[in-house]
């Protein structure tokens, strides 16, 4: 399967702990996006990369969140000092430039903060 993959699929953690998620995009896609989705809502943009450069971050993204895409392939999203409000589905998507931009989503990582 050459779709977008994410790991882990589920993560349960205690408040205050750090967590890290991984996303592997479709191999030839140069753009990679992170979204957060809570129950009954649409995906909310967090950040995106073009190759290894992080080009945009949402103003909603607190400084506890950091994302990397060191070699322009896979990406990691780290949340430090997790809070209960961080509980959500974290979705990764990838696309191939130029515009228009159909995005291919991965299965997501469901985070539960106790």
Partner 1 sequence: GQQVMQIPQYQHVQEGEDFTTYCNSSTTLSNIQWYKQRPGGHPVFLIQLVKSGEVKKQKRLTFQFGEAKKNSSLHITATQTTDVGTYFCAGPGGNAGNMLTFGGGTRLMVKP
Which of positions 51-70 make contact with partner 1 (CB under 8 A)? Answer: 55-56
Q: Is residue 99 at the binding interface for partner 1, with CB under 8 A as the rule?
A: yes
Does residue 107 contact residue 7 with C-beta atoms inside 8 Å?
A: no
Closest to 82 (Cα-Cα) out of 12, 14, 36, 9: 14
Q: Which stretch binds partner 1 (CB under 8 A): 18-26, 67-75, 80-88, 102-110?
A: 102-110
- The count of chain residues that interact with partner 1, using the rule CB under 8 A, is 24
Determine, following the binding rule CB under 8 A, whether residue 1 of this chain makes contact with partner 1.
Answer: no
CB of 102 to partner 1, least distance (A): 5
When asked if residue 44 is in the footprint of partner 1 (CB under 8 A), the reply is yes
C-alpha 37/C-alpha 45 separation (Å) is 9
Mention every residue, 6+ apart, whose C-beta is less than 8 A from residue 24: 4, 5, 6, 7, 73, 74
Could you list the residues that contact partner 1 (CB under 8 A)? 31, 33, 40-45, 48, 50, 55-56, 91, 93, 99-108
């Amino acid at each position: 399967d050459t779709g977008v993959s994410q790991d882990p699929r589920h993560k349960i953690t205690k408040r205050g702990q750090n967590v890290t998620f991984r996303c592997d995009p479709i191999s030839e896609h140069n753009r990679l996006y992170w979204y957060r989705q809570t129950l009954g809502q649409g995906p909310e943009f967090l950040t995106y990369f073009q190759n290894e450069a992080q080009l945009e971050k949402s103003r909603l993204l607190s400084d506890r969140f950091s994302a990397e895409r060191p070699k322009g392939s896979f990406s990691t999203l780290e949340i430090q000092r997790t809070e209960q409000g961080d509980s959500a589905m974290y979705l990764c998507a990838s696309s191939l430039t130029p515009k228009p931009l159909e995005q291919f989503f991965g299965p997501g990582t469901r985070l539960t903060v106790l």
